[in-house]
Amino acid sequence: MRYAKPWWYKRMIEEGIKFTLQRKLILDVLNRTKKHLSAEEIYFIVRKFYPNIGFATVYRTLDLLTKIGIVIKLNFGDGRMRYELAEKENASHIHLICKNCGKVFEDGGDENEKIKEIEKNISSRYNFKVENLKIFFMGKCENCQKGGD
Amino acid sequence: MRYAKPWWYKRMIEEGIKFTLQRKLILDVLNRTKKHLSAEEIYFIVRKFYPNIGFATVYRTLDLLTKIGIVIKLNFGDGRMRYELAEKENASHIHLICKNCGKVFEDGGDENEKIKEIEKNISSRYNFKVENLKIFFMGKCENCQKGGD
DNA sequence: AATGATAATGAAAATCATTCTCAATTAGGA
DNA sequence: TCCTAATTGAGAATGATTTTCATTATCATT
Ligand SMILES: [Mn+2]
Ligand SMILES: [Mn+2]
Ligand SMILES: [Zn+2]
Ligand SMILES: [Zn+2]
């Protein structure tokens, strides 16, 4: 085999769920994109490679993968959920969401240390086992501060 | 007048929107509860005091108040949006969400300083004007770690 | 290869939170 | 009081997501 199996393959096997073609294709799409795709967008991309895939399968797969932590399900407030591949450890980046134009920006992880610290405090303070975190900064992007009202 | 107008009253006036009875009642509900209510829950509570209020008015009001920062709109993943009164300055607390039982816990603000610092860094790094932030820690609550799988 | 048990899938219908439409009402300034 | 724009309530419409159910794929055993 030319390529090593990706980390999510191992995770799926150890969870006892099957690595079907449909699931593989959905994960490939998420792996290749930099964007935050919606279920529908993923559906249409996968369809190019596998025209028979059903809408429900996409939703089911995304839910399943979210449940086991391979995928992160995000709500940026545009009326549909969006999905991204989880990062290998439970590190996760901050999302900046412009309330004006809707654009989403990602922080490059420069705050990771501070976040880890907060996570540790919270974990021990509440006896809460943190599996992943979602940090959204809502506000106005550079562009919208100048131009729009 | 016995009581001073609440801070959101002033905000609404300065935004040039009317402080109607319906809006007042919705804000009163949000102000009195500790929970994170959905639009429907708010609707049924307001109805006790004002049986004629319409569902659409509740949604419209919550949207409006969210837009001007008086209300925060949250998605905990249970299929409906939930609302809480914003805090007076743009301070906001961390939400811990149990993926197992769905319960939501709130941090008492002990991480505020660290969060402020992150906020400041992000603001200047990306020239992003932060208006409010949503921090969700997804995981398993104390109870669910013991009992259920 | 055939079998059977179980998991996964696709198509379509159903659900249901949220938004839209529009006629009626209200609020506040001239 | 009159005028105008904002607000509201009822109900219909929307549309993302879920459910249903018959069919198909998977895989361990004969
Ligand atoms: Mn992201
Ligand atoms: Mn809260
Ligand atoms: Zn913007
Ligand atoms: Zn729990």
Q: What percent of chain B has pLDDT over 90?
A: 87
* B36-46: average pLDDT: 98
> What are the structure tokens assigned to A4, written together?
């090593």
Q: What is the reported pTM?
A: 0.93
- Please determine, for residue B122, whether its predicted confidence score (pLDDT) is greater than 80: yes
Q: Which residue has the tokens 């506000």?
A: A139
> What are the structure tokens assigned to B77, written together?
């993943």
The pLDDT confidence band at residue B86, using thresholds 50, 70 and 90, is: very high
- Please determine, for residue B89, whether its predicted confidence score (pLDDT) is greater than 80: no
- Write out the DSSP string of chain B: --SPPPHHHHHHHHHT----HHHHHHHHHHHH-SS-EEHHHHHHHHHHH-TT--HHHHHHHHHHHHHTTSEEEEE-SSSSEEEEEPPSSS---EEEEETTT--EEE--STTHHHHHHHHHHHHHHHT-EEEEEEEEEEEE-HHHHHS--
CA of B137 to the centre of ligand 4 (A): 13
pLDDT reported for residue B92? 85
**B127 CB within 8 Å of a chain A CB:** yes
- Please determine, for residue B3, whether its predicted confidence score (pLDDT) is greater than 70: no
- DSSP conformation class of A107: -
> Which chain B residue has the Cα nearest residue A119?
B137
Residue from A103, A135, A142, A144 to probe the interface with B (highest B Cβ count within 10 Å): A135
Residues A37, A6: contact at Cβ < 8 Å? no
Report CA(A20)–C1'(D23) in Å, whole number: 17
pLDDT reported for residue B146? 83
* B5-32: average pLDDT: 95
Q: How far apart are CA B63 and CA B43, in angstroms?
A: 14
Instruction: Note whether A138 contacts B118, CB cutoff 8 Å.
Output: no
pLDDT reported for residue B37? 98
Q: What's the start-to-end Cα distance of chain B, in Å?
A: 55
**B90 CB within 8 Å of a chain A CB:** no
- Please determine, for residue B18, whether its predicted confidence score (pLDDT) is greater than 90: yes
Residues A36, A104: contact at Cβ < 8 Å? yes
The tens place of each residue's pLDDT in chain A, 149 residues long, gives 456 889 999 999 999 999 999 999 999 999 999 999 999 999 999 999 999 999 999 999 999 999 999 999 999 999 999 999 998 877 789 999 999 999 999 998 899 999 999 999 999 999 999 999 999 999 999 999 987 54
Q: What is the mean pLDDT of chain B?
A: 93
Residues A93, A106: contact at Cβ < 8 Å? yes
pLDDT reported for residue A43? 98
Where are any strands of DSSP class E within chain A?
37-38, 71-75, 81-85, 95-98, 104-106, 129-140
pLDDT reported for residue B8? 95
> Which chain A residue has the Cα nearest residue B113?
A118
Structural domains in chain A plus CATH codes: 1-88 (1.10.10.10), 90-149 (3.30.1490.190)
pLDDT reported for residue B147? 72
pLDDT reported for residue B148? 54
Report CA(A145)–C1'(D27) in Å, whole number: 59
- Please determine, for residue B76, whether its predicted confidence score (pLDDT) is greater than 80: yes
pLDDT reported for residue B130? 95
